[in-house]
């Protein structure tokens, strides 16, 4: 007769290195280009249109650069504790909007969040994240 192996009923910790989304960076640049083109094609006078179009494009490039310059973050979620970059966080919460997943938490009096786009979190890891957040909420 075979002996059965005792499996642990706790789930494995979820580890992930979050990085900024290239899709979001490209979308911000594209929106700035489209805003500039829209301003150029509207009925405003020429002396006003060109500065506004350049301002729209420069603003979107600034937002894209700011988004791309975010440092990578180390995420660890286990049923007992949760941490981001080694700092213990409380009450992690996962919000899902179609392909976009947003992880929110509280660390003392500060709040934080990470947005996971499809290019930064594949479907399988997204499911693992969802299960890890649920396991953490149950153990709490």
pLDDT the model gives residue 23:
94
pLDDT band at 136 (very low <50, low <70, confident <90, very high): confident
pLDDT tens digits, 63-104? 999 999 999 999 988 877 888 888 888 888 999 998 899 999
pLDDT the model gives residue 107:
84
pLDDT tens digits, 38-61? 999 998 888 899 999 999 999 999
89 backbone dihedrals φ, ψ, rounded to 5°: -120, 155
């Amino acid at each position: 007769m075979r002996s059965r192996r005792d499996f642990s009923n706790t789930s494995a910790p979820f580890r992930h290195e979050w990085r900024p989304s290239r899709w979001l960076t490209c979308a911000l640049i594209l929106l700035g280009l489209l805003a500039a083109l829209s301003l150029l094609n509207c009925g405003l006078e020429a002396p006003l249109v060109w500065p506004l179009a350049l301002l729209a494009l420069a603003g979107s490039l600034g937002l894209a650069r700011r988004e791309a310059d975010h440092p990578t973050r180390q995420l660890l979620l286990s049923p007992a504790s949760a941490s981001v970059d080694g700092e213990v966080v409380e009450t992690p919460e996962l919000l899902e909007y179609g392909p976009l997943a947003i992880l929110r938490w509280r660390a003392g009096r500060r709040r934080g969040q990470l947005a996971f786009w499809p290019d930064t979190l594949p479907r399988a890891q997204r499911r693992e994240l969802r299960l890890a957040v649920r396991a953490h909420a149950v153990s709490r």
